[in-house]
Amino acid sequence: MSDLEKINSIFKDKINSVKTKEELQSIKTEFFGKNGQITLQFKKLGSLKPEEKKDFASKLNKIKESLSYQIEQKNFAIENQEINKKLQHEKIDVTLPVRPYHHGKIHPVSQVIDEISSIFSEIGFSVAEGPDVESEYNNFTALNTPEEHPARDMHDTFYLEKNKKLLLRTHTSPVQIRTMLNGKPPFKIIVPGRTYRCDSDQTHAPMFHQLEGLHIDKNVTMGHLKGCLDYFIKEFFEVKNVKMRFRPSHFPFTEPSAEVDIGYKIENEKIVIGDGDKWLEILGCGMVHPNVLKNVKVDPKKYQGFAFGMGIDRLAMLKYGINDLRSFFEADYRWLSHFGFDPLDVPTNYRGLSK
């Protein structure tokens, strides 16, 4: 048996009995280390006669490759074995309690804004927004509410400057102005957003939320306004029928103007919307005043339409049985975990995801 054949057979015996990575490493050193058996054979090459050299080198290289390959394979097999062993020990104990997992809740106001937006988007309204800090012009003047108009007092405005040019918007109506100044009719928008007035009790907070609606086109009538609000109330409160009454009212930016009441009754100490002999005021509305259209360079002889405004917080209180408006803004985590919405629970009338 030649030296190389001997090395090959010793290697075979050894590699077959290897069980661990450490044993494999020591075999690697034994054959390929500085004084390893294969290394020594390579060193021998220099002393060989040229005619023997070629044949020996070729055999030696073949053996070297074969041994390296076997070491690699063994290494792979040992790693696999180790993983399998680990997996056997790491069985999942399904009886263990799950780890506590806290995820946030959606605030009722955000939830209601989402619901409202998806209901109106179904009939062609898009969502517009405007800033909380507004000019006195957009908030009042352009909306046909001149300097000495009593409506300015009604609104208990937070002014930001002595000269009263900048204020915290008292309603979402200035977004009507911004939208119409920045585009061309027709307009069909809703505007959810924060609004501010110096006011605070169980049903009033200095910051609250409103939803504005505006639809301007060539033939938009009060009939469309009624149809639109009827559809919205039914969808929002998830009722088939709703009693609705339009009471004549006054807003500087609409003519004629109305306030809308919906019928309700109390059943088992809970409010039931739609039917009954009681009335609940829920919004103001009307046909956009020609002066407002003129102020935004829309020709009132060609275009007309309706607008409405309602309190989002109040809608949320009614729908979800919350009775103190101030609790909305106290950021009490316990309150939010009770009244908030699970982000993964899709409410029945929320069409954004399910349709």
Q: Considering the rule CB under 6 A, would residue 285 count as an interface residue with ligand DAH?
A: yes
CA distance linking residue 323 with residue 129, whole number of Å: 28
Q: Considering the rule CB under 6 A, would residue 308 count as an interface residue with ligand DAH?
A: yes
> What residues have CB less than 8 Å from 137, skipping those under 6 apart?
none
Q: Closer to ligand DAH by CB, 52 or 156: give it.
A: 156
CB of 243 to ligand DAH, least distance (A): 21
Omega of the bond prior to 186 within 30 degrees of 0, cis? yes
Applying CB under 6 A, the span of 184-192, 225-233, 272-280, 301-309 interacting with ligand DAH comes to 301-309
CA distance linking residue 161 with residue 37, whole number of Å: 92
Cα 309 to the chain's mean position, in Å? 25
Q: Closer to ligand DAH by CB, 308 or 341: give it.
A: 308
> Cα separations (Å) of 282 from 116, 120, 207?
14, 17, 18
User: Helices marked H in the chain — which ranges?
Assistant: 3-17, 21-32, 37-44, 50-89, 108-121, 136-139, 151-154, 174-181, 222-237, 290-295, 312-320, 333-339, 351-354
**Left, alpha or beta for 124 (phi > 0: left; psi -120 to 50: alpha)?**
left
Pick from 105, 152, 171, 178: which binds ligand DAH (CB under 6 A)? 171
Q: Closer to ligand DAH by CB, 41 or 254: give it.
A: 254
CB 174 within 8 A of CB 212: no
Q: Considering the rule CB under 6 A, would residue 251 count as an interface residue with ligand DAH?
A: yes
Pick from 115, 212, 235, 313: which binds ligand DAH (CB under 6 A)? 212
Q: Closer to ligand DAH by CB, 24 or 307: give it.
A: 307
CB 28 within 8 A of CB 71: yes
Q: How many amino acids of this chain bind ligand DAH (CB under 6 A)?
A: 11
Joined tokens for residue 255 = 């003519």
Applying CB under 6 A, the span of 199-207, 290-298, 304-312, 334-342 interacting with ligand DAH comes to 304-312
Applying CB under 6 A, the span of 7-15, 79-87, 110-118, 283-291 interacting with ligand DAH comes to 283-291
CB of 258 to ligand DAH, least distance (A): 8
Q: Considering the rule CB under 6 A, would residue 179 count as an interface residue with ligand DAH?
A: no
Q: Considering the rule CB under 6 A, would residue 254 count as an interface residue with ligand DAH?
A: yes
CB 236 within 8 A of CB 262: no
Pick from 37, 41, 138, 173: which binds ligand DAH (CB under 6 A)? 173
**Position of minimal CB gap to ligand DAH:** 309
CB of 273 to ligand DAH, least distance (A): 20
Assign 3-state DSSP to the chain and report helix, strand, coil percentages, each to 5. 45, 20, 35
Q: Considering the rule CB under 6 A, would residue 174 count as an interface residue with ligand DAH?
A: no
Q: Closer to ligand DAH by CB, 228 or 307: give it.
A: 307
CB of 214 to ligand DAH, least distance (A): 7
Pick from 242, 284, 293, 327: which binds ligand DAH (CB under 6 A)? 284
CB 174 within 8 A of CB 144: no
Q: Which residues bind ligand DAH (CB under 6 A)?
A: 171, 173, 212, 251, 254, 284-286, 307-309
